[in-house]
Amino acid sequence: MAVDLSFYTSPLSEEIRAQGEARRAAEDILTVLEQRGILVPEAVRERITGCTDPHVMSDWFRRTLTVATAEEIFGGE
Protein backbone atom coordinates (compact mmCIF):
# COMPACT_ATOMS: atom_id res chain seq x y z
CA MET A 1 0.00 0.00 0.00
CA ALA A 2 1.40 3.40 -1.00
CA VAL A 3 1.22 6.26 1.45
CA ASP A 4 0.37 9.71 0.13
CA LEU A 5 2.96 12.12 1.54
CA SER A 6 2.09 15.04 -0.73
CA PHE A 7 0.78 17.04 2.24
CA TYR A 8 4.34 17.49 3.50
CA THR A 9 5.31 19.39 0.35
CA SER A 10 2.04 21.24 -0.13
CA PRO A 11 1.59 25.01 0.19
CA LEU A 12 -0.44 24.44 3.36
CA SER A 13 2.38 22.43 4.89
CA GLU A 14 4.88 25.15 3.99
CA GLU A 15 2.63 27.78 5.58
CA ILE A 16 2.31 25.77 8.78
CA ARG A 17 6.08 25.27 8.91
CA ALA A 18 6.72 29.00 8.35
CA GLN A 19 4.27 29.93 11.10
CA GLY A 20 6.06 27.59 13.47
CA GLU A 21 9.44 29.07 12.58
CA ALA A 22 8.14 32.61 13.07
CA ARG A 23 6.66 31.69 16.45
CA ARG A 24 9.97 30.14 17.54
CA ALA A 25 11.92 33.20 16.36
CA ALA A 26 9.59 35.50 18.30
CA GLU A 27 10.04 33.38 21.42
CA ASP A 28 13.82 33.54 21.01
CA ILE A 29 13.80 37.33 20.61
CA LEU A 30 11.60 37.82 23.66
CA THR A 31 13.67 35.38 25.72
CA VAL A 32 16.92 37.18 24.93
CA LEU A 33 15.43 40.58 25.75
CA GLU A 34 13.98 39.31 29.02
CA GLN A 35 17.19 37.51 30.01
CA ARG A 36 19.10 40.73 29.40
CA GLY A 37 16.71 42.49 31.78
CA ILE A 38 15.17 44.64 29.06
CA LEU A 39 11.55 45.61 29.60
CA VAL A 40 9.35 44.53 26.70
CA PRO A 41 6.27 46.77 26.36
CA GLU A 42 3.09 45.08 25.12
CA ALA A 43 3.19 46.99 21.81
CA VAL A 44 6.71 45.68 21.13
CA ARG A 45 5.70 42.14 22.14
CA GLU A 46 2.73 42.28 19.74
CA ARG A 47 4.86 43.55 16.87
CA ILE A 48 7.41 40.78 17.43
CA THR A 49 4.84 38.01 17.71
CA GLY A 50 2.91 39.36 14.72
CA CYS A 51 5.85 39.30 12.33
CA THR A 52 6.05 36.43 9.83
CA ASP A 53 9.02 37.55 7.71
CA PRO A 54 12.02 35.34 8.54
CA HIS A 55 14.54 37.91 7.27
CA VAL A 56 13.09 40.63 9.50
CA MET A 57 13.01 38.25 12.46
CA SER A 58 16.65 37.35 11.87
CA ASP A 59 17.64 41.04 11.86
CA TRP A 60 15.65 41.66 15.03
CA PHE A 61 17.23 38.67 16.75
CA ARG A 62 20.77 39.90 16.02
CA ARG A 63 19.84 43.34 17.37
CA THR A 64 18.54 41.85 20.64
CA LEU A 65 22.14 41.11 21.56
CA THR A 66 23.19 44.75 21.74
CA VAL A 67 20.17 47.03 22.17
CA ALA A 68 19.50 49.01 25.33
CA THR A 69 15.71 49.10 24.87
CA ALA A 70 13.27 46.70 23.23
CA GLU A 71 12.15 49.37 20.75
CA GLU A 72 15.69 49.58 19.36
CA ILE A 73 15.42 46.14 17.75
CA PHE A 74 13.28 47.69 15.05
CA GLY A 75 16.22 49.81 13.94
CA GLY A 76 14.27 52.86 12.83
CA GLU A 77 11.82 50.87 10.73
pTM: 0.78
pLDDT of residue 75: 87
pLDDT (tens, 9 = 90+) of the chain, 77 residues, equals: 666 666 566 777 777 777 878 889 999 999 999 999 999 999 999 999 999 888 899 999 999 999 999 999 998 76
Residue 16 has a CB neighbour count (10 Å cut-off) of: 12
**CA–CA separation, 37 and 50 (whole Å):** 22
pLDDT of residue 17: 76
Q: At what angle do helices 42-50 and 11-35 cross, to 10 degrees?
A: 150
pLDDT of residue 4: 63
